[in-house]
Amino acid sequence: MLSIQQMQYILSLSEHKQFQKASESCFVTQPTLSMQVKKAEDFLGYPIFDRSRSPLELTIFGEELIPVIREILSENDKIGSIAKKMKGEFKEQIRIGIIPTIAAYMVLDLFKIWREKVPGIQLVIEEQRTEELLDSMERKALDVAILAGPHNDAKVRTIPLYTEEIFAYTPTIEGESISTEQLADLHPWLLSKGNCLRTQMISFCQLKEENIVHSWNYEGGNLELLMKMVEQDGGYSLVPEFYHLNDNNRSYLKHIHASGNILVPAREVIALLPNRSIKRNFIESLLREVQHFYNRSDRQAMQIIDWKG
């Protein structure tokens, strides 16, 4: 049988794809990690990694093995949790991943509520882009991911949380609404690639990546900076409905309407969690608070924009 330690080394190496980085993350020397991985491969009778590639790649056998190792290590962690509960030393940890354009308001809105409504847990909240969240869920590095939908994957459970309108942020146009034709004449201020709100903006406003003028080479997920650039140099950016703005800046939010379409653009916010989890009751309690806080009845008709474009 493989030892827990060997499985941890194999999993770390599969994630870092380099012996040096994997050994550092496991706090062992590189020769120690390399030797234990080789022993595991000898015991199993098949190579787990293709060492001829740089960075390392999993073999076909390794691809089959890694999900099993993740499951075993996850179950092993649960054993330790049960023992701590019996000693009265246990505090459940919930690891939440949230995309930046949602985390920017949700953490402020709900952190205190979460602590009051679901006591006795340790909340660990990380900001990650959508693709990073999906990878973290695959690796079981998170207990729940909050992101823009839709997302279909039988390996995880999807819970709809709420829908929020996407507004154009611009001081250039008077009134409460702006058409996509008017937006076409304004400079778009975009988040960096990898942010789903950028993809939604390009999709709904019918922008073409190759035609976007990068007069401001900004890389990051900072909506606040983009809005300041709009105020300073004109143009527009997209801002989600629940993003925190003062009263003066809120007047710059415009409903967006495409020609001949009464629907306003919106995104569906969802949560992803494992199909099986001993933390399920805690997680569902947290998500119910999200649903209660953001769901609204007085809404315009909305068109959900797919973040994948």
Q: Confirm whether 99 is domain-assigned.
A: yes
Assess if residue 173 is contained within a domain: yes
Domain boundary among 54, 86, 118: 86
Residue 200 lies in a domain: yes
Residue 211 DSSP label: G
Give percent above pLDDT 70 in the chain: 85
Q: Are residues 146 and 289 in the same domain?
A: yes
pLDDT band (50, 70, 90) for residue 200: low
234 and 150 part of one domain: no
CATH number of residue 69's parent domain: 1.10.10.10
Q: Which helix (H) or strand (E) holds 283?
A: helix 280-294
| Residue 71 pLDDT | 83
Phi then psi for residue 113, to 5 deg, are: -65, -45
| Per-residue pLDDT, 234 | 86
Same domain as 117, residue 81: no
Which of 39, 67, 86 is at the close of a domain? 86
Q: Are residues 19 and 104 in the same domain?
A: no
**In this structure, are 182 and 294 located in the same domain?**
no
Q: How do residues 4-52 score in pLDDT, each as one tens digit?
A: 999 999 999 998 899 999 998 888 899 999 999 999 999 999 999 999 9
Range of the domain at 93: 89-163+267-300
Query: Would residue 308 count as lying in a domain?
Result: no
Q: Give the residue, 199 or 76, on which the prediction is more confident.
A: 76
Give the domain CATH number at 172. 3.40.190.10
Instruction: Among 53, 86, 119, identify where a domain stops.
Output: 86
Look at residue 307 and tell me if it is in a domain.
Answer: no
Residue 179 neighbours by CB distance under 10 Å: 16
pTM check: above 0.75 = no
My answer on whether 228 and 116 are in the same domain is no
CA 198, chain centre distance (Å) = 14
Cα pseudo-dihedral 109, 111, 115, 116, rounded to 10: -10
Clarify whether residues 149 and 187 are in a common domain.
no
- Phi first, then psi, for residue 118 (nearest 5°) are -125, 75
Q: Do 273 and 253 sit in the same domain of this protein? A: no
* Residue 37 within a domain: yes
pLDDT at 77: 74
**pLDDT in the model for residue 211:** 47
Percent of the chain with pLDDT over 90: 36
Contact 289, 114 (CB under 8 A): yes
How many structural domains is the chain composed of? Answer: 3
Please tell me whether residues 16 and 106 are part of one structural domain: no
The reply to whether 178 and 259 lie within a common domain is: yes
Residue 97 lies in a domain: yes
Task: Flag whether pLDDT at 300 surpasses 80.
Answer: no
Residues 59-71, mean pLDDT to the nearest whole number: 90
Over 60: is that where the pLDDT of 219 sits?
A: no
Q: What is the pLDDT of residue 42?
A: 93
pLDDT digits (tens, 9 = 90+) for 222-235: 788 888 888 888 88
- On whether both 229 and 253 belong to a single domain, the answer is yes
- Under DSSP, the state recorded for 188 is B
Mean of pLDDT over the chain: 84
Task: Examine the domain organization and report whether 288 and 157 are in the same domain.
Answer: yes
Give the mean model confidence (pLDDT) for residues 91-96: 84
Higher pLDDT, 82 or 165: 165
**177 and 257 Cβ atoms separated by less than 8 Å:** yes
